[in-house]
Structure 1
Amino acid sequence: MQFCEHCKVHIRGNRKYCPLCQNVLTGEGREEEEIVPAIPTSYQYNLILRVMVFLSICIIVLSFAVNALFPVQVNWPMFIIAGILCVWISLAMVIRKRHNVPKSIIWQVAVISILAVIWDWRTGWIGWSLDYVFPIACVVAMIVMYISAKVLHLGVRDFIIYILLDGIFGILPVIFLLCNLLQVKYPSVISVSCSILSLAAVLLFEWENIWEELKKRLHM
């Protein structure tokens, strides 16, 4: 019989993931023990995807309109488009690898940031990788985590992980600000602000569930 380390329960049948928490099961299962019928998992994609497409179009149009009214040397609407593309790519990868959402998001932010820094360095180091790409990647990661939690109906255990991730995403842009490594500071300020607000929202509205989960996991 298979066993779930997170729920501390034995699972009959030949399953790969726990039906309660979706963690990987240990032990060996038997086909004849399967008593739970296979129920296909479905997500309410249509409305969420339509809203996201509409918001993406609105943001792109608004960025080009603002740039046309208040032109600057930096073509920042292209960074907005790149950020939106990152949102869609990240969301698609997270949903595909939904059994390990936090790890997938961390790897994406790390790879995008490292590639941007290398590209910036090889082209003469203008500083756009730290000014724009990294804070945008942090904000995108927080957006993807929130949407993934809602779409995939993730539990309290994952909220705890999200709190830690939000803290990491908020601290790193602060380091660049304190070290005076940025020429354009408002993207990093926005990233830090979004991280603090996200962390505050989770703590305020999910604190009871998080505390119960911590007591259960720490055997308090």
Structure 2
Amino acid sequence: MQHYCNNCNTYTKQQYCPLCKNKLSQKSGDNEYYPIYETKVKRRRFAQRLVLFVAIFIVSTSILINLLTNPDKLWFLYVLSPVLYSLLTINHTILSRAHIGSKVVLQVIALSVMLFILDAASGSSKWSIHYVIPFLVTLATLLVTIIVLRKPMKWREYIGYMTTMVILGFLPVILFLSSWSTVLWPSAATALYALMTLIGMVLFSEKTMKNEIVRRFHF
């Protein structure tokens, strides 16, 4: 007898989903659902390849036009970074079935890179490093924290992503100490929030999770 998980969209012979541990509803023992699933996978893969092709076409065209018309000014960077970010957003965040934690982490990294490129291309006033990137890291860390608090059973799945976000939280301070950034308070606020998140992970998690956190951070 097949069981179906509405949360994970998976089929299993067990009464509880191996991913989210929810009790499952019973479905027919036949494989009638698998052709439908395979069709969805094929459509999703085709859509991802189509988006990739369109992105390559746009970037290649903009580079060619830039080199032929005004090679002294690399304005194609204004096209390159948004297209690459849109490619990741559509193929990985929207169409992919990747873990939501990886989607959040890659989103904040990709968006930060895109804004940094646009900042550098527009004259490098460093507004992205001073204000926007610290705000994005703080917001992403808060988002992952909220997800974990709403689904405590999935804490173990998110510990790697939480660790990554905590590490990224100290990145603005490193940029400030290396003179890349000259505005202290956004970097300091982001580092403080990352530190408080780390302390909260240690204090309020279960014993097994505490051991995992200690192992990852080498306390």
Which TM-score applies when normalising by structure 1? Answer: 0.53
**Structure 2, unpaired ranges of 5+:** 3-11, 22-26, 32-88, 214-219
Cα distance 1:184–1:213, how it changes in 2: closer, same or farther (>3 A)? Answer: closer
Instruction: Map residues 1-220 of structure 1 onto 2, 5 A cutoff.
Output: 11-12=12-13, 19-22=17-20, 31-32=28-29, 100-211=99-210
**What is the deviation of 1:211?**
4.6
Cα distance in 1 between the residues matched to 2:152 and 2:139 = 19
Structure 1 or 2, whichever has the larger Rg, is 2
CA deviations 1:82-121 (Å, max 9, x no partner) are xxxxxxxx9xx98998861221011111121011111111
Any idea what SS the aligned residue of 1:32 has? coil
Poorly superposed stretches of 4+, deviation over 4 Å: 93-99, 211-214
Higher relative CO (CA 8 A, sep ≥ 6), structure 1 or 2? 1
Q: Structure 2 CA distance, aligned partners of 1:95 and 1:187?
A: 30
Gaps of 5+ in 1: 3-10, 24-29, 35-89, 215-220
* Identical counterparts, % of pairs: 24
Distance (whole Å) between structure 2 residues aligned to residue 98 and residue 148 of structure 1 = 17
How many residues get paired?
141
Per-residue deviation, 1:177: 1.8
| Alpha carbons 2:134, 2:172 under 8 Å: kept | yes
Rounded Cα–Cα distance in structure 2 between residues aligned with 1:145 and 1:98: 17
What CA distance in whole angstroms lies between the structure 1 residues aligned with 2:122 and 2:174? 24
Query: TM-score, normalising length from structure 2?
Result: 0.53
**Matched residue of 1:134: which SS?**
helix
